[in-house]
């Protein structure tokens, strides 16, 4: 039996297991607020499922796993870049915005993915990278030739640079890229420097050229016409630079942080320029026109690492929301109840009343939750993510509690790590959080065939930590995630309202209910994110009703207490434990 056949039989077996517990939708909903109700799941395609045994995940692999999302309660999948690319930055350097890279499949495969996802009631969100292209993109190949009559000549940002007194030509300024290297590269062919916010193989587009703006609008239309339901806009904060290239950005080294770990200028001329929001408004006009014709709503979420003041502007320029990345940048290691409340309130306190919040705890650029906070907290943080108000985004594998892998320099794939060299690569490499998904205890975790070499090593704990095993374990992280996703469908969790209850060095707890609704239940979510067990009094008064007990809906430590009634006066939580309780009044509790 060939490895490919073995893999197909394995996929078929898991699919049968999933189908037995999955209620499929027959078609996608045309609901304008679908994105508010959805759990979004980020797929890193290279690492999700390999269908052909080459060691790299692909679109047919994703299709083979679509039932899994119904099983765990996910509503939308966000797919990291699958465009045609030389893969210098693993798909974020795009050679053709209107084609799929052969390593992932074909356009026909993508069309099938859309059809099959929609048949299961799943929305598909695509990554969109507007800031730059690959240096192999046709536009840049032509732009490098220069010439007055060349229509692509001004598609990118070019400069003659400066001529020093000694006759040496240098870049027009000392701006640095996100990799803390020079942001200008000399082109011998054109005889000018070109600007790049990322690696030199990713030249920045010139959005002051209306032809570029129109080209990028056409790309949106191309994918919308294929059935894409939304876009995650990558690195939007770098879309514009000031026109005066002689301006120098001031240096600003962060104290106590190694120079190679920081983007060491105050980026007042290369980030957060006001013109960004004008472009997004035109995109929203495009999406609205499409939605009027086809129904539903094109979802747009922007990724930008910037100040809270700048982040909030995206709520008003056409995005449904900017990603809330506070938990991505926060050091969670020693973050307890009070710390988590502070980070949550940083966002909840400033989101406009007519806008929708969101929370993200992991992504493809950051170590996994189990590394940043600790393995014992994974279940609690998944409960937190799925029970706070707004739209949650889960990074693939976090529902299993996947761990970071240890990657040698020889096996390192990420250019951020490679560029730092063998002594420092661990500071920059994002490979540890991008390891293959762990589906079963089969060789290569069921991600690929037995004889394949996955593009990154599979974590050695895959024999016990995998989907197949956790599906049959009632108290597993997957089981807890799935149950929490189901609880989240209740109306009490579909509002933007939350009120905190007991919060201290260890405990974070909060109440979810529908204000003013007589038929609304009241739910208490409590978790111990500290270092020691904690016994606290959770009795509360909600809209004039006193609650002193609760029915256990979920306990991350045991399923044996499900539906049990417990008093709130002295409720003990162990380190890493979380509970969801449906609160009952004293009279109701006595009846129970």
- Please give the Cα distance from 228 to 78 (Å, whole number): 10
For residues 573 and 161, give the distance between their C-alpha atoms in angstroms, rounded to a whole number.
Answer: 63
234 is catalytic: yes
438 in the Ramachandran plot: left (φ > 0), alpha (ψ -120 to 50) or beta? beta
Contact 509, 525 (CB under 8 A): yes
Indicate if 320 belongs to the active site. no
**Which of the following is catalytic: 234, 492, 536, 555?**
234
Comparing CA positions, the residue from 21, 215, 220, 224 lying closest to residue 124 is: 224
Contact indicator for 576, 475 with CB cutoff of 8 Å = no
Q: What's the gap between Cα 531 and its chain centre?
A: 28
| C-beta of residue 305 within 8 angstroms of C-beta of residue 329 | yes
Question: Do 100 and 59 contact (CB within 8 A), yes or no?
Answer: yes
Query: How far is residue 335's CA from residue 527's CA, in Å, rounded to a whole number?
Result: 13
The C-alpha atoms of residue 59 and residue 42 are separated, in whole angstroms, by 14
Phi, psi values for residue 130, rounded to 5°: -85, -15
Rounded to whole angstroms, how far apart are CA atoms 238 and 360?
Answer: 21
Show Cβ contacts of residue 467 under 8 Å, excluding neighbours closer than 6 positions. Answer: 14, 68, 400, 437, 438, 439, 440, 446, 478
Contact 484, 555 (CB under 8 A): no
Query: C-alpha 39: how far from its chain's center?
Result: 11
Quickly list DSSP for 249-288: PPB-PPTTS-GGGS--B--TTTS--THHHHHHHHHHHHHH
Tokens representing 44 are: 């890193």
Residues ≥6 apart with Cβ < 8 Å to 226: 107, 110, 111, 114
The C-alpha angle with vertex 334 and arms to 40 and 380, in degrees rounded to 5, equals 40
**Catalytic-role residue among 50, 204, 303, 536:** 303
How many Cα atoms sit within 13 Å of 126 on the Cβ side? Answer: 27
What are the residues whose beta carbons fall under 8 Å from the beta carbon of 166, sequence distance 6 or more? none
Active site residues per annotation: 234, 303
């Amino acid at each position: 039996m060939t490895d490919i056949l073995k893999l197909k039989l394995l996929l078929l077996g898991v699919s049968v297991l999933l189908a037995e517990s999955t209620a499929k939708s027959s078609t996608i909903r045309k609901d304008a607020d679908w994105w508010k109700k959805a759990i979004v799941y980020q797929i890193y395609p290279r690492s999700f499922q390999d269908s052909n045994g080459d060691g790299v995940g692909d679109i047919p692999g994703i299709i083979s796993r679509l039932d899994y999302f119904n099983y765990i309660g996910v509503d939308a999948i966000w797919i990291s870049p699958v465009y045609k690319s030389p893969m210098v930055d693993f798909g974020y350097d795009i050679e053709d915005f209107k084609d799929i890279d052969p390593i992932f499949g074909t356009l026909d495969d993508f069309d099938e993915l859309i059809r099959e996802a929609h048949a299961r009631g799943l929305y598909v969100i695509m990554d969109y990278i507007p800031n730059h292209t690959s240096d192999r993109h046709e536009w840049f190949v032509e732009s490098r030739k220069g010439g007055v009559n060349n229509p692509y000549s001004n598609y990118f940002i070019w400069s003659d640079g400066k001529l020093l007194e000694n006759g040496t030509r240098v870049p027009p300024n000392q701006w640095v890229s996100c990799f803390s290297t020079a942001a200008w590269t000399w082109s011998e062919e054109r005889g000018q420097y070109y600007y790049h916010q990322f690696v030199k193989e990713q030249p920045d587009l010139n959005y002051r050229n209306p032809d570029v703006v129109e080209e990028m609008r056409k790309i949106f239309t191309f994918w919308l016409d294929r059935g894409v339901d939304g876009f995650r806009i990558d690195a939007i904060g770098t879309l514009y630079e000031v026109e005066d290239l002689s301006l120098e950005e001031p240096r600003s080294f962060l104290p106590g942080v190694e120079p190679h770990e920081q983007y060491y200028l105050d980026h007042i001329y290369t980030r957060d320029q006001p013109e960004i929001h004008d472009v997004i408004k035109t995109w929203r006009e495009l999406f609205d026109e499409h939605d009027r014709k086809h129904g539903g709503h094109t979802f747009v979420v922007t990724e930008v690492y910037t100040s809270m003041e700048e982040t909030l502007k995206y709520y008003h320029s056409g995005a449904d929301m900017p990603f809330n990345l506070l938990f991505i940048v926060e050091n969670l290691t020693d973050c307890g109840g009070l710390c988590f409340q502070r980070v949550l309130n940083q966002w909840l306190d400033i989101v406009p009343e007519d806008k929708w919040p969101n929370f993200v705890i992991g992504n493809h650029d950051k170590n996994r939750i189990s590394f940043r906070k600790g393995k014992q907290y994974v279940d609690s943080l998944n409960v937190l993510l799925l029970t706070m108000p707004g739209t949650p985004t889960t990074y693939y594998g976090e529902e299993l509690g996947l761990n970071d892998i240890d990657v040698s320099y020889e096996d390192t794939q990420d250019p951020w790590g490679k560029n730092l060299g063998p002594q420092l690569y661990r500071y920059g490499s994002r490979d540890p959080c991008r390891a293959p998904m762990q589906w079963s205890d089969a060789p290569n975790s069921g991600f690929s065939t037995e004889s394949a070499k996955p593009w990154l090593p599979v974590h050695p704990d895959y024999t016990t930590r995998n989907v197949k095993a956790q599906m049959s374990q009632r108290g597993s992280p997957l089981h807890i995630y799935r149950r929490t996703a189901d609880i989240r469908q209740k109306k009490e969790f579909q509002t933007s309202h939350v009120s905190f209850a007991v919060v201290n060095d260890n405990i974070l707890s909060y109440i979810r209910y529908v204000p003013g609704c007589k038929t609304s239940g009241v739910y208490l979510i409590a978790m111990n994110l500290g270092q020691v067990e904690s016994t606290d009094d959770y009795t509360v008064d909600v809209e004039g009703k006193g609650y002193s007990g609760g029915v256990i809906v979920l306990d991350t430590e045991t399923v044996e207490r499900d539906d049990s009634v417990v008093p709130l006066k002295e409720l003990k939580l162990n380190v890493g434990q979380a509970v969801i309780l449906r609160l009952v009044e004293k009279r109701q509790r006595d009846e129970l």
